[in-house]
Structure 1
């Protein structure tokens, strides 16, 4: 029953995303988009797929580094494939990472042969760490624009979003760490009765004991704290995360270059993080929302690039960074789910 409801939610999300894409393509002009895609250079398209693989590998290494900090090391190849499966979970569930994290945690725990809360702490830590370099790169791009042009509406909104997100992130980290024990006790007090109430609503499900739930919640917070107090692993994970963001930015830049447009690097440095923020939309993996933000920012910050060309480039970029990991990760997730 729960699985059926989850399937319907995901299916409706994909239907909504498909409808959003169809409307956007119809408004922009399918022929113009097709003509732009037809101009793409096949050799560069192959390179884009390679760059997407580098991005996936870098973030897989970030996950592996975090797992090492939790004394749960896994081989590099396994880490990359497991991260691909986590990306698959994010891409097929509403609200992106927020919706996919519970599934990703299960896949990671099975691949690393660890408790579920360790997998949840690992993927939560990776997601949190990934925000840091994205904001830094976006601020570098915005600093460039501040010296070169007057901010238009799209760029002003992007700057405000990045600035607000940076403030919220710093505040969350500082307050979360300062009051971590209070937050832990609050989570135990809130989640334990909630889980027991939900479990009691299903006849064949046995409600877990309070002590067991408390131990698991405390285990999650303990795992997060172990990651946070390992500066060497944190620094290495941030390096891999930064490499991944540069890979994503390079993918979008090459996608524009493949159809005949050369844009300043600052354009993609701002567009990619801002697009990632749009992945919190209710559509699976941020479909529609990410593409719209990327397109609006590239058009708003670059002279001479048509909306049809940008749409074509975004389709190429998303094809490499959304479809590819979804296909690979789906296969890995299926294998892990059967274990």
Structure 2
């Protein structure tokens, strides 16, 4: 077995070690006892709500790829998103490695330029992440943790960045980047600029992704409720987006950073002990991380099995 063959088992083992450590931190015996006494129908509800957002993400990916003239059925888009999750959970790139892998895979299968596909994938990621920013800022303002001035400053930076991405190709913006990188970024920006002509569709997708974000927040609420903790939804609206930043740490699935962030934030915002916060976090991560690996493996296997027949349209030009 070579080093490449070892990477995925090592990543899986690393994250499992983190999960076991979380249980140890929460007092293993007490955790098992608490799980035994938990209201299991609420845990099931938490499981469903935690994993339902992937159905929305598949819709977003499908529509964004469609805008770039890459036609996928919804079921095919779902398989690609599951494969993306699988890569994210098993590679040391946090939650950004899957997009690159999906771009390479789709480019090889369709013959379309990587920059064209990446612009669609990147657009989908932006739309999927936007609700976390909006909900996090809203929760922070309403609860007094973030001032209106700070929020406006952050939003202004986001708007300016969006305007630069959208209009820089039309303004002939030049920079000292190497030609290949500049060309790649230019084509990516051109792809993103197409969203201006699909405003209603983008708004609809943003509506769906907000529902997905609320679903994740409600999942943690139900997990806490199953263990006897009534975690305030408004506070979770602030806590979950903040913890999500940890998902982008350079570890498999954002492991360690996400667990530490969510546990710390729950302990700070809610009247729960460190052990209880660690248990809630461990349960939430277990039902999302391991489900993502299993479902993602199925998605990858189906993609490999279907191969060239995955797409409805013909191959594009390179």
Q: 1:85–1:330: 8 Å Cα contact kept in structure 2?
A: yes
Q: Distance in 2 between matches of 1:329 and 1:131?
A: 20
Answer yes or no: is 1:88 the counterpart of 2:112: no
Deviation per residue, 1:149-168 (Å, 9 max, x gap): xx6xxxx8xx9x98986565
Q: Which residue of 2 aligns with 1:331?
A: 298
Q: Does 1:136 align with 2:126?
A: no
Taking the aligned partners of 1:315 and 1:183, their CA distance within structure 2 comes to 47
Contact 2:165 2:192 survives alignment (8 Å): no
Higher mean displacement: 37-46 or 123-132: 37-46
Do the aligned residues in 2 keep the contact of 1:36 with 1:309 (CA within 8 Å)? Answer: no
Deviations 1:151-207 (A, max 9, x none): 6xxxx8xx9x98986565344323333434666876661549xxxxxxxxxxxxxxx
Return the alpha-carbon distance in structure 1 between the equivalents of residues 42 and 215 of structure 2: 14
1:56 is displaced (CA, Å) by 1.0
Aligned to 1:173: 162
Matching residue of 1:189: 179
Q: Alpha-carbon deviation of 1:80?
A: 2.3
Q: How far 1:286 sits from its partner (Å)?
A: 0.5
**Cα pair 1:70 1:227 within 8 Å, conserved:** no
Q: Which residue of 1 aligns with 2:241?
A: 273
- Name 2:204's counterpart in structure 1: 236
Match of 1:120 in 2: 118
Partner Cα distance (1:70, 1:125) in 2: 11
The Cα shift of 1:325 comes to: 2.4
1:302 has 2:270 as partner: yes
Secondary structure of 2:119's aligned partner: helix
User: Is the contact between residue 88 and residue 330 of structure 1 (CA under 8 Å) also seen in structure 2?
Assistant: yes
Cα deviation, residue 129, structure 1: 1.9
1:165 & 1:11 partners in 2: Cα distance? 39
Q: Distance in 2 between matches of 1:111 and 1:137?
A: 37
Quick check: 1:263 aligned with 2:231? yes
Asked if 1:249 corresponds to 2:247, the answer is no
Cα distance in 2 for partners of 1:218, 1:175 equals 11
Unaligned runs of 5+ in 2: 308-318
TM-score, normalised to structure 1, is 0.76
Paired position in structure 2 for 1:100? 98
Shift in Å at residue 301 of structure 1? 0.9
Structure 2 match to 1:57 = 55
Return the TM-score normalized by structure 2: 0.81
Write out aligned runs for 1:31-42 (5 A). 31-42=29-40
CA distance in 1, matches of 2:250, 2:155: 22
Task: Give the paired residue count.
Answer: 304
User: 8 Å contact 1:10–1:284 — kept in the other structure?
Assistant: no
**Which sections of structure 1, spanning at least 5 residues, go unmatched?**
193-213
| Residue number in structure 2 paired with 1:198 | none
CA 1:180–1:87: 2 relative to 1, 3 Å: farther
* 1-structure distance, mates of 2:19, 2:100: 28
Q: 2:120, 2:181 → 1: CA distance?
A: 20
